Structure 1
């Protein structure tokens, strides 16, 4: 996926903390207290009588004692908001059952039984969008992590694997399409205009992978022949009007299936693969076995409504969920502490796939930018946790960038140390050993260790220690050689004040600036607190190129001159190192300018000239493809810059960052105009050349808007008017949305809305463009947009398009008045009763208050305390707030 409240332990769930919880405090679940469930559930039969307002569920469970667990006569079945209508054991009405809070306890005397339970639910009232819920007249499910317990009483934990047979019936006119996991085995007509379908999934799975969809849908149908010659029928199900926008998703699916066979040796294992697009969805997508349920955002695309980034996102998410068929479904998690076992590994797999589809260098930079923008702040804040956590109160709060993105980086480091071929042997070992099991992170590491021939004993610290390691690097010239001195520290994080050194693989080269000679890349592993490495024949002016390709998820501190950074930005043969050099130039300047007393005018001027010189070299390099040029032109985010400053002042950072953009825009105005003209002459298409042209075109406007705003306004308006694709149209509108004093802004925003009114995904863009803009009145704009007739709190996409875009906009969110903080707090309090999972995801931006200057810090904390003092907070939100306040 793209993210029983009971004090007893007889069911084998991890034990709660010994101390009684505070009134609002959810119980603490600890990894060390895991025990296997007392009963196995080899087969599960589900019978659904479907209705939007009333669905009747009959669950029949064949259970038998688990020989590997402590014996218990009590079968404890999780529920959430359920009441049993009937309970039978072995065909007889049972009286040996009781409710313990939300948990149904059935007492069973023998070793094997058949338990039948009837429940009734109202999907239309399910605003949490977890379990079975209604979405625009359709029924669908979301069961990860603990949603199945909102459908039927069940041991809703990932280590209980069962083979499912499902029968669905309902009004044919309302639900003409009935879908479930696995293969469709039978269909028929019922009485009074009803019909039914039966499905069987032959592969045992946990309840979180169950899926059901019923609605009025049409399919883009195709097929794929596996390398063993088996034909697989493929369907992408959408509403009728959306069918023309599914071709890209189908191509992405077929490419994913072929790639996984070639690169990881994994072949699809059912006769049918279905994807359904749903407009109301908390997540990006869900990998349910044979029936993936997707947010429409990650299925629907055409050039008129989707940007190049949207196309890439669809391709990557389609791949991610498909790859889960093996890394998540065939091998699942023993418990939720092992979440990165499936998510970190699958993120790496989708990243490698996207690298092969889009180009390695650009994709790598994009992935690192996400890591630094989201995960690094998480790692240094109150919500920091290892990729294999030790405890949680609400599992949905651990669908984090640390689990996904850092988890992928940790596995990528194993691949770097082993090499691609040996890493493949390690993954084959993992799949062979644990197919059909609920495994652990340790199982994965041991498989890579054995298959690739690595010693990963110390490396396991990456799974247990939180925080981003900081590497101090010093290159000391010594005649014709140089000594690289490295020191690592892992900063303290909540609950982990002291850390041990971890193995850190670093790709390094030493270049000679005097001659322009580029040194050979070398892989070194820093596994001590301090170590030194010797490089021979480095020339007269050695320049260090370190962490090339971002070989480790660490922060590098190095003493390096601006002249050396300019050289690396212009000449380094590693694309990421070249990108990094320009980022370091900008970050170093902005940190100095926005910290303490700032920079003297002459120092500021000199730094700006160095950066402008490096920028000019990027514009002038004819050997660069525009896709890479566009990445090199991007400034580091304001959030990342703030991470480098103690008690950061977002207002000062914003002012200095915009001033630097204005300097570049004014100094290189003619070059930027020429770049825009050259790129505009390339016709629309999906080639790398065409995609790159669209990328640099908008980046040129960004700098011109800061340095030559009148010219930029005219150029942006002209680009908007001439646009024959969404990338150009959205890019120009984004620039105009941040500008003042131009009629082009209002006119194009109105045109965009009128042009796409009724297309929810594109109107989401319209909200997000304005909420993330640099306009001085962005706070007032967001308030007005919240009152717009098209805004609703019931659709997670719409909520995120306005408020998550705003929370990620430092210019507006950190308004000195504190109004941005209050708006997000108000949102959390209003949204929490409706959709706690989505509400909780808005807490972390407020939790960063310790990183900011005193005034804003106090205002942020005040809002967190206001949320904490509210009545009846959900477990999701309460945990996030309490941990943020510390």
Structure 2
């Protein structure tokens, strides 16, 4: 087998600053569908250095170079060199100079959606990570910070808007006609130096929704959201989320917005969720547009979180950016942490923590445990687009959370304030970030910094022993971390484990003193600071036997094992004062049960252990004193992916699915009377509200409905049909349809047709329709997906449609993607190869779904390997896809 290996490796150790600075530039765009002309006038300054000045080497790809001017004089071709990656000026002036480069690009042909492209007749940019080089020649790297002046010129069509970063300086009609058409212009100035990846421009006939926000210092900021005409009625929630984000960032972090205008543009063709370009955020429209009859509660929560995330980047990513792409977690991990905290304050903190941990375990833990494992700050990469990963984002956020746990709330806040003060307007590093916390707190974080450089998920084993004579509880701890690619051995890390004690009566148990290790005390809770491979912590003054409630709030991203028995964990599930650990106890017991079911010849048999667990679950589910969203999380039985992750080897997805479904049916049958009563008691009264209370009620009701649909008497099917037909919001309508579809009920077929006919002109709702059919575990799903590839509502050229159908099939349908006959792998591999030339980023992200192929049983492993090798030997193959497939195979 021959695989592409001719790709350069970029290494952190090779970082060197640029020999020239570009403090400002002025760009002029003459927009044309196939021949956009870009004039880039750069003021360039040599940096201080001894000896002869080096060559000026600028990045550029896919550009048609029209001219190069130095200090106003046209250069001849002998004065510079151009290849497919660079423009080189071998002998630039020794003093500051002006370099003007004019290029031509074709936005319509840009199916990669990197740089400047057209979508629905709107010009749009996406420059992170390395898209700016597809617009003009420049230092396309994060540490080159420049002040941008941008002039956009375009023919007048419809209701045109010409947008860029910063503040609008001037706009109007051009006096002369071009090609017989009237043209107009807009002039923009962004006073804040920024790297090229934050540049943005948008031009098109769009509707604008306006509002304003008054900052804490009394400045009024204009807020504009741009959408396609006819979608103005779906923007109110996004605007509200933006204003709440702005206020929260002022109140919690003291960060005030710094321009006169903040803009969001929603487009339908976008490789990412959203992009934080300074003052001009560009969003995938699925994270902006919402109204009750087309968007679910999940959609509303994601809009709130992603609007906040991109706005928070204004300080953690824009005002302070990353020095190089190895520091990507510096902006992304920190900003994910901030948006998680925002959502926790807006909704239920306990439930939000459960949701984030569930996401981390389902996406990041498999990444850490497979061939794509890499540190939060990698040491090298071949294609930077492939490092926008759960490790950088979600695990990066967990590291920020651990710093807060280690330092405490006040010291953490002081450290961030110092970081903002020191590095505003700079391109910073992880070392800069940690140093601010060390200086603000006086604590040494050198051992903690290993979290940024060591890949893999640590294992923490805790053995608890109670000594009644001395009234002491001893916690013996051992940490380890498995080998990962390029890192066969690991050093001991600093792991903060938050804990409490629960007595046999279900009450918190206090302790008076500690010895044997560093423990922070906070009332009846504490934090164990684990720093050694093995160490023991002794809690003194424990008057009665108690169970340790460990890793409260998931205080560190580790796998925890303990010597607690199933009865002990059942006790914690029923009585722990920490909501997260009550949920965690339920997950542990459920996964133990579901693994056992997957190994049984007759998993439908219910034994006494199963009955005890079902009864315990019922006590939580039906407890009216508990938050409804929390009860819904308890009722969300661990997924097939969760179970496979815990099994870890020789995985049979069909056995897991069968075992899980039989347990859920047993749960439904034995609790059916109470479940029916609960379902009817949760019926919505009053208008739909996407708030925490309303979404929690709907989540619990729809989880109950999904169980009732499994009952053999078909009463649940009738309830689902009624709910579908009478629902006043998309959440309830879609939940009913999903239950019927995923359980393979005949009643689903006419409802799927009805749903499509009602929403066939709404692309975002049709995405839901596609995903629903792609995630059915039934055996006819593959044929359904294949037929949908030819459906008039599907287009492989649109990333949203591709993610909705093929992405959902590969990521969320373990049975059918991992079919024993290998046809699921072949379908996805075919799509990857077809997409690779058009949109390699989307193709590479689909390929990520093969990352856990080695944990499967041998037959499926062989089928997956065959498809990976077929991809690896394809020619030509993009750098994005080649990088992922080579790492998967080695």
- Where 1:326 maps in the other structure, the secondary structure is coil
The CA distance in 2 between the partners of 1:261 and 1:570, in whole Å, is 39
Task: Tell me how far apart the structure 2 counterparts of residues 103 and 737 of structure 1 sit (CA, whole Å).
Answer: 53
**1:59 aligned to 2:59?**
no
Partner of 2:85: 102
Provide the aligned C-alpha RMSD in A.
1.7
Q: How many angstroms apart in 2 are the aligned matches of 1:787 and 1:380?
A: 36
One of 479, 487, 499 as aligned partner of 2:490: 499
Note the C-alpha offset of 1:684: 4.1
Matched, 1:77 2:81: no
1:780, distance to aligned residue in structure 2 (A): 1.6
**Other-structure match for 1:799:** 802
User: Taking structure 1 as reference, are residues 602 and 327 closer, same or farther at Cα in structure 2, changes over 3 Å only?
Assistant: closer
For residue 844 of structure 1, what is the aligned residue in structure 2?
Answer: 848
Of 132, 149, 172, the residue aligned with 2:116 is 132
Match of 1:728 in 2: 732
Deviations 1:521-575 (A, max 9, x none): 2111111111112234546552221111111111111232222222222211111
Match for 2:639 among 628, 637, 640? 637
Does 1:308 find its partner at 2:297? yes
What residue in structure 2 maps to residue 606 of structure 1? Answer: 608
2:157 counterpart of 1:173:
yes
Cα distance in 2 for partners of 1:369, 1:70 equals 56
Q: Return the offset for 1:462.
A: 0.3
1:824 aligns with 2:828: yes
Call closer, same or farther: CA 1:68–1:722 in 2, change over 3 Å: farther
Quick check: 803-812 or 291-300, which moved more?
803-812
Give the Cα–Cα distance (whole angstroms) in 2 for the partners of residues 535 and 715 of structure 1.
53
- 2:768 is the counterpart of 1:765: yes
Shift of 1:481: 2.9
Q: Aligned in 2, Cα 1:695/1:708: closer, same or farther, shift over 3 Å?
A: farther
- Report the CA distance shift for 1:642/1:139 in structure 2 as closer, same or farther (over 3 A): same
Deviations 1:212-234 (A, max 9, x none): 00000111101111111111111
The residue that corresponds to 2:788 in the other structure is 785
Residue 599 of structure 1: CA displacement? 8.4
Offset, 1:83: 2.6
For the 8 Å contact 2:603–2:662, the answer to whether it is kept is no
Q: Which moved more, 1:123-132 or 1:566-575?
A: 566-575
The partner residue of 2:134 within 113, 135, 150 is 150
Change over 3 Å in CA distance of 1:562–1:705 after alignment to 2: farther
- Unaligned 5+ runs, structure 1: 1-20
Tell whether the 8 Å contact from 2:64 to 2:105 is kept in structure 1 after alignment: no
Q: Between Structure 1 and Structure 2, how many residues are aligned?
A: 863
1: CA distance, partners of 2:431 / 2:821? 49
Return the alpha-carbon distance in structure 2 between the equivalents of residues 464 and 221 of structure 1.
45
CA contact 1:618–1:633 (8 Å) conserved in 2: no
Q: What residue is the counterpart of 1:702 in the other structure?
A: 706
Q: What secondary structure is seen at the aligned counterpart in 2 of 1:134?
A: strand
CA-to-aligned-CA distance 1:826-845 (integer Å, 9 cap, x gap): 11001111100010001122
- Other-structure match for 1:6: none
1:411-426 aligned within 5 A? 411-426=400-415
Superposition TM-score, scaled by structure 1 size: 0.95
Distance 1:109 1:688 in 2: 61
Please report how far the alpha carbon of residue 606 of structure 1 lies from its aligned counterpart in structure 2 after TM superposition.
Answer: 2.9
Instruction: Spell out, residue by residue over 1:125-172, the C-alpha distance to the aligned partner (whole angstroms, 9 max, x if none).
Output: 000000000000100000000000000011101000110001111111
Change (3 A) 1:830 1:30: same
1 CA distance for matches of 2:292 and 2:261?
A: 29
Query: What secondary structure, in the 3-state scheme, does the structure 1 residue paired with 2:64 have?
Result: coil
1:201 paired to 2:209: no
Structure 1 position 802, deviation (Å): 0.4
User: Hey, what does 1:387 align to over in structure 2?
Assistant: 376
Q: State the distance in 2 between where 1:203 and 1:800 align.
A: 35
String of CA shifts for 1:694-731, please: whole Å, max 9, x gaps: 11111012222334461221111111111000110111
Residue 45 in structure 1 maps to residue 30 in structure 2: no
Q: 1:378 to 1:838 in 2, by over 3 A?
A: same
Mapped partners of 1:400, 1:71: distance in 2: 41
- Indicate yes or no: 2:587 matched with 1:583: yes
Query: 1:697/1:202 Cα in 2 relative to 1: closer, same or farther (>3 Å)?
Result: same
- Of 532, 548, 566, the residue aligned with 2:536 is 532
Q: Does 1:229 pair with 2:218? A: yes
Alpha-carbon contact 1:218-1:239 (below 8 Å) kept: yes
Question: Could you list the per-position Cα deviations for residues 405-451 of structure 1 after superposition, in whole angstroms to 9, with x for gaps in the alignment?
Answer: 00000011001111222111000000000011011011101111111
Cα distance in 1, alignment partners of residues 721 and 711 from structure 2: 17
Q: Secondary structure of the equivalent of 2:801?
A: helix
CA pair 23-677 structure 1, distance change in 2 beyond 3 A: closer
Q: Which residue of structure 1 lines up, in the alignment, with residue 501 of structure 2? A: 510
CA contact (8 A) 2:163 2:203 kept: yes
DSSP 3-state at the match of 2:60: coil
Look up the match of 2:419: 430
Residue 628 of structure 1 corresponds to which residue in structure 2? 630
Residue 244 in structure 1 maps to residue 233 in structure 2: yes
Tell me the residue number matched to 2:651.
Answer: 648
Measure how far apart 1:339 and its partner are.
0.2
User: Cα offset for 1:682?
Assistant: 3.8
Q: 1:681 to 1:242 in 2, by over 3 A?
A: closer
- Between 171-180 and 485-494, the greater mean CA deviation after superposition: 171-180
* Residue in structure 1 matched with residue 481 of structure 2 by the alignment: 490
Contact 1:847 1:885 in 2 (8 A): no
Q: Is 243-252 or 60-69 further displaced after alignment?
A: 60-69
Between the aligned partners of 2:563 and 2:136, the Cα distance in structure 1 is 60
Matched, 1:573 2:557: no
Q: Secondary structure at the match of 2:797?
A: coil
Return the match for 1:664 from 662, 667, 680.
Answer: 667
Q: CA deviation at 1:28?
A: 0.4
- Is the CA contact 1:159–1:206 (under 8 Å) kept in the aligned structure 2? yes
Is contact 1:79–1:102 with CA below 8 Å preserved after alignment?
A: yes
1:452 aligns with 2:441: yes
Q: Secondary structure at the match of 1:872?
A: coil
Determine helix, strand or coil for the equivalent of 1:587.
Answer: helix
Shift of 1:72: 3.4
2:275 matches 1:286: yes
Counterpart of 2:390? 401
Contact 1:472/1:557, CA 8 A, preserved across alignment:
yes
Once residues 792 and 415 of structure 1 are traced to their aligned partners in structure 2, the CA distance between those partners, rounded to angstroms, is: 45
1:470–1:53 distance in 2 versus 1, CA, 3 Å = same
Superimposed CA distance per residue, residues 375-418 of structure 1 (whole angstroms, 9 cap, x where no aligned partner): 00000000000000000000000000000000000011001111
* Whole-angstrom distance in 2 between the partners of 1:736 and 1:495: 46
Match of 2:875 in 1: 871
1:672 offset after TM fit, Å? 1.1
Structure 2 CA distance for aligned equivalents of residues 635 and 269 of structure 1: 45
2:500 and 2:508 in contact (8 A); partners too:
no
CA distance in 2, matches of 1:709, 1:47: 69
Out of 335-344 and 68-77, give the one that drifted further. Answer: 68-77
Q: Deviations over 1:740-775 (max 9, x none)?
A: 352x20111111111111111010000011111233
Is the CA contact 2:3–2:872 (under 8 Å) kept in the aligned structure 1?
no
Q: Matched residue of 2:706: which SS?
A: helix
In the TM superposition, what are the counterparts of 1:256-271 in structure 2 within 5 Å? 256-271=245-260
The structure 2 residue matched to 1:119, chosen from 103, 106, 113, is 103
| Contact map agreement 1:138 1:175 (CA 8 A) in 2 | no
In 1, the alpha carbon distance for the partners of 2:551 and 2:526 equals 10
- Alpha-carbon distance between aligned partners in 2 of 1:711 and 1:569, rounded to the nearest angstrom: 31
